[in-house]
């Protein structure tokens, strides 16, 4: 009797330790760092480094307990039921995130973004909605499986209640995120899970008996889907058209870089958009919806652009193989979560967040080889982090981001000399962040250090698509009286985003310079500044137009070209 209880306690302890190991790996979603610059995710990587160490400790203790309990080497080395631990970890995190979002909706907690009332632990409601959509099919599968078993066991009842509660909480929050990509991902993945739970014999009998009725319902459902899709599109039409335009430009960039672009997405996308608008012949709506995106809003296109088409195809084949194994072994909850992530990735940017990267990799392992390689995956990741020194690197970068907040305060206060010194110290760690490089270059521009400013701003072009960088480089060359170079960068800014009025204004001022005066070009730019319809009318637009009128009125009577 005593031996039986000891065995049960040992087994429960091992299962608990393994669950804690998996849950801590996925707990990056709860890592919030409001003290860092907005949108920075380095704090999640720091959290991940510590979580992997904790997970490895849990795995080591569980293996020791199994070894002392004279378990077989197969039980000691393999991570049995890794996919079950994954599923329930996601359910637990789904409950936490849903409650977090409800607290934000009702004003009990602050959101992660000033413009949005609901973000959960994320910076933006889009990724937050995608994360909840990824967990919803897991909850549905666990609930349906509990209903099918009809067990009277207490643990099964608790699991059924938890899965149902998590699903209800997610459904309460998900619509409020206003993420159409997340809605579609949740709908497709949940429909797939429900389909996989079907009773084939029962449905076959019903189909033969009520075929006409089902056909009628099918046609009606098809029209409902069409209306729903139209409603989703017209909910934010410019946003939808903007994504279509981004995909079009990204495809053009892929044609130019079929084997991948070493410089990265921002450089290749900016180049393609400049060439497209520079060649003319574009539609009016394209100018209206064009922007300077940080991501392609399609992970497959972005991967094909940055890593090459072949690598993208290989990755998709690997994911397809993992899904096939997961379906073969009946792991529908894991496959459903992975399908949701794949659908969400089609029109969003989840892989820029460490949470989705780690969760996605764990889902792939849980579909197929996680039971065999789960412990080796966790321990190997821990060894890699500590051998390469990633944990220390992440910590130093997080500290640099904290110091960046202080440097940014000096920058916004106009203390450019002090800001330059602060940025100089942070550059070795933050030299691959486009926003940091722009601030540093602009601060140097304000200090009159035009040559140095251009060095950092030209580097910023590799990591940012913002045309304002081109404007500042042009202003630097104009101040140094390199007028032709200034004109080149202003025109590049115009071609990158022709809907912006500011670069036309800068060109007009350039053509009014005494050493570079040109009445015809000035008049053309002046007309554009005065007549072009801005996206948002502001005081700055009114001031620019007023200045254009004054320059034109004060132009000398000869209007000589030089």
Print pLDDT tens along the chain (562 aa).
445 557 677 778 888 888 898 899 899 888 888 888 878 889 899 998 898 888 888 888 887 887 777 666 666 667 778 888 899 999 999 999 999 999 998 888 888 777 888 888 888 898 999 999 999 999 999 998 888 777 667 778 888 889 999 999 999 999 998 888 899 999 999 999 988 887 655 656 655 666 666 667 666 666 666 766 566 565 667 777 888 899 999 999 999 999 988 888 999 999 999 999 988 888 888 888 888 888 888 999 999 999 999 999 999 999 999 999 999 888 899 999 999 999 999 988 898 899 999 999 999 988 877 677 777 778 888 888 877 788 889 999 999 999 999 999 999 998 999 999 999 999 999 999 999 999 999 999 999 999 999 999 999 999 999 999 999 999 999 999 999 999 999 999 999 998 889 999 999 999 988 888 888 888 899 899 898 888 778 888 888 889 888 888 887 654 544 4
Instruction: Say which residue the tokens 């393999």 belong to.
Output: 78
- Options 1.25.40.10, 3.40.50.261, 2.40.50.140, 3.30.410.40; CATH of 394-464: 1.25.40.10
3-state helix, strand, coil in the chain (%, to 5): 75, 0, 25
Half-sphere exposure of residue 539: CA atoms within 13 angstroms, side-chain side: 0
Q: Are 275 and 283 in contact (CB under 8 A)?
A: no
Domain ranges across the chain: 2-197+308-388, 394-464, 468-562
Supply 555's token pair: 């132009």
Same fold, 394-464 and 468-562: yes
72: three-class secondary structure by DSSP: coil
Q: Architecture of 468-562 per CATH? A: Alpha Horseshoe (1.25)
DSSP state of 295: S
CB 121 within 8 A of CB 34: no
- Burial string for 362-381 (b: 16+ CB within 10 Å, else e) reads bbbbbbbbbbbbbbebbbeb
Instruction: Record the pTM.
Output: 0.89
């Amino acid at each position: 009797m005593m031996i039986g209880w000891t065995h049960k306690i040992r087994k429960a302890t091992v299962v608990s330790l393994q669950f804690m190991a998996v849950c801590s790996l996925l707990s990056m979603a709860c890592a919030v760092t409001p003290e860092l610059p907005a949108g920075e995710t380095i704090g999640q990587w720091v959290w991940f480094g510590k979580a992997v160490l904790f997970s490895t400790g849990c795995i080591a203790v569980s293996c020791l307990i199994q070894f002392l309990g004279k378990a077989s080497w197969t039980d000691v080395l393999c991570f049995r039921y890794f996919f079950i631990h994954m599923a329930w970890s996601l359910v637990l995190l789904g409950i936490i995130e849903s409650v977090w979002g409800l607290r934000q909706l009702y004003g009990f907690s602050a959101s992660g973004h000033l413009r949005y009332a609901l973000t959960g632990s994320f910076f933006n409601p889009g990724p937050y909605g995608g994360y909840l959509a990824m967990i919803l099919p897991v909850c549905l599968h666990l609930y349906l499986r509990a209903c099918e078993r009809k067990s009277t066991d207490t643990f099964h009842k608790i699991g059924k209640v938890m899965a149902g509660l998590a699903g209800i909480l997610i459904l309460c929050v998900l619509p409020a995120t206003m993420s159409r990509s997340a809605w579609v991902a949740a709908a497709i993945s949940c429909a797939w899970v429900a389909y996989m739970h079907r009773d084939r014999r029962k449905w076959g009998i019903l189909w033969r008996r009520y075929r006409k009725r089902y056909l009628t319902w099918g046609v009606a459902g098809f029209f409902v889907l069409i209306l729903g899709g139209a409603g989703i599109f017209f909910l934010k039409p410019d946003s939808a058209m903007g994504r279509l335009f981004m995909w079009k430009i990204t495809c053009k960039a892929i044609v130019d870089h079929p084997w991948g672009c070493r410089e990265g997405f921002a450089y290749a996308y900016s180049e393609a958009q400049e060439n497209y608008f520079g060649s003319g012949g574009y539609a009016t709506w394209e100018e209206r919806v064009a922007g300077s995106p940080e991501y392609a809003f399609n992970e497959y296109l972005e991967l094909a652009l940055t890593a090459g088409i072949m690598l993208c195809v290989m990755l998709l084949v690997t994911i397809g193989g993992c899904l096939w194994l997961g379906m073969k072994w009946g792991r529908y909850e894991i496959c459903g979560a992975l399908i949701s992530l794949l659908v969400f990735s089609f029109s969003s940017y989840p892989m820029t967040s460490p949470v989705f990267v780690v969760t996605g990799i764990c889902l792939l392992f849980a579909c197929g080889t996680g039971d065999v390689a789960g412990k080796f995956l966790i321990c190997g990741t821990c060894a890699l982090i500590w051998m390469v020194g990633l944990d220390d690197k992440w910590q130093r970068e997080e500290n640099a981001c904290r110091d960046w907040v202080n440097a940014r305060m000096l920058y916004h206060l106009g203390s450019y000399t002090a800001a330059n010194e602060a940025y100089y110290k942070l550059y070795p760690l933050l030299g691959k962040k486009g926003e940091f490089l722009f601030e540093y270059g602009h601060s140097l521009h304000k200090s009159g250090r035009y040559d140095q400013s251009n060095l950092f701003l030209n580097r910023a072009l590799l990591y940012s698509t913002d045309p304002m960088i081109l404007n500042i480089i042009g202003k630097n060359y104009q101040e140094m009286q390199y007028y032709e170079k200034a004109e080149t960068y202003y025109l590049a800014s115009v071609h990158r985003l022709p809907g912006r009025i500011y670069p036309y204004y800068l060109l007009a001022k350039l053509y009014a310079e005494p050493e570079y005066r040109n009445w015809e070009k000035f008049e053309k730019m002046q007309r554009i500044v005065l007549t072009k319809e801005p996206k948002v009318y502001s005081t700055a637009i009114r001031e620019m137009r007023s200045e254009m009128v004054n320059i034109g009125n004060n132009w000398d009577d000869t209007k000589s070209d030089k």
